[in-house]
Amino acid sequence: MQEEHGKNYWGQLFLQMLFHPIFLVVYGLAWFYLARLFWYGPAENCLPQLILCGLFFVLYLILFFVRGFTGHVQGGLFARGSFRRPYRIFAAGVLAALTLFFGFHSLQGYREGALARKLENLTNQRVLTPIHTNLFETGLDGLLEDVDQVMELPDELYLGDGLNLLFDSDGTLRSLYTYLYGKGKDGQTQSFQLAYDRDISDQLTIYLLGISTDEYPESRRLDPLLETLDHLDLAQAIRPSLELGYDACELWYSGLEEWSDLEQTLFYLNQEGEVRSAQPNPQDPVVNYGVSLCLPDLEPGDEVEGSDIPYQPEVYIYVEDFGNIESSNARGREILDEENRISGDTLFASE
């Protein structure tokens, strides 16, 4: 029956229904709630309103086709010719204004709003409840095994920043913060941050950073820390701290460093777990991978209650064999010198 209405009937019917006041009101509400959803996320509970608007649009579309194919014309606002030219111009302006204003506002919310951050977290964040949280029993290897169950770790890991963790007197991990990266099996850089605080949650959060780099400096390797913890009797190492009344200890690791501070106590560690003390020398610093054990909230040289000796953090350096101490330190110096030279060459090249 639509042939009786002429070839312009569908276009006229479309504009009739598009400019209908009820449609304009629902169209504006749909944009309004969509923008709020993008900016404030599901917490604003906009989904029910958006679902109702969507249902209205579906029914409205069905009505459009029913009227088009049946040629059934109701009176009132749905009657042909019921919208005069001034109203059509006004309705078109309202439709354009709603689209431009809320479209731009929604686009900003899509890029910067709470929903965008939530979706980004779902994409770039992993959460797990770690099983291996006792450093005395599994060191850090156990925790990394837990992480490897969630995301496949690179074979070699590097520090993007210093590693800091806090553990209880029984070796149970209390908190951990570090940024690690490495080359994945696909040849691409995998970079991620680990964040764990038992006082806040029993879950460890992994933030996938997506940072790409071709630089894997040997001075930032994580393996020396893992080797040190594998051979160090950590419970014995922190016993003096416990005797002073402390119930927790901090561990710091920043890769290859120069150790020359007289307010630190250095120990070499071999593969049998034996330790040998070393005296720092500002004129001839030790250059090696050191793992620092510290008391929370204390700085070197601070007075410690119950002790006549100013506080000195302990630094453990794994050398495999005590006969390798000099060669190990010499190798550390070579690595730092080479990396400093490359860094200097890069700087001059950029200038």
Q: Calculate the dihedral angle through the C-alpha atoms of 10, 13, 19, 21, rounding to the nearest 10 degrees.
A: -150
141-154: b or e for each residue (b if 16 or more CB lie within 10 Å)?
Answer: ebbbebbeeeeebb
* pLDDT for the residue 184: 84
DSSP string, 194-228: EEEETTT-S-EEEEE-----S---GGGBSHHHHHH
Residue 266 structure tokens: 């250095």
Find, among 88, 74, 79, the residue nearest to 18 by Cα: 88
Q: With a cut of 50, list the residues of the chain below it in pLDDT.
A: 1-3, 75-78, 80-81, 345-351
Domain boundaries, the chain: 2-120, 134-176+215-351
pLDDT digits (tens, 9 = 90+) for 287-300: 999 999 988 887 77
Amino acid occupying residue 179: Y
Alpha-carbon distance values, 140 to 65, 136, 146, 149 (Å): 66, 9, 10, 15
pLDDT of 33 reads 82
pLDDT of residue 110: 65
pLDDT of residue 3: 46
**What pLDDT shows up at residue 349?**
39
Q: Is the dihedral of CA 288, 290, 302, 308 positive or negative?
A: negative
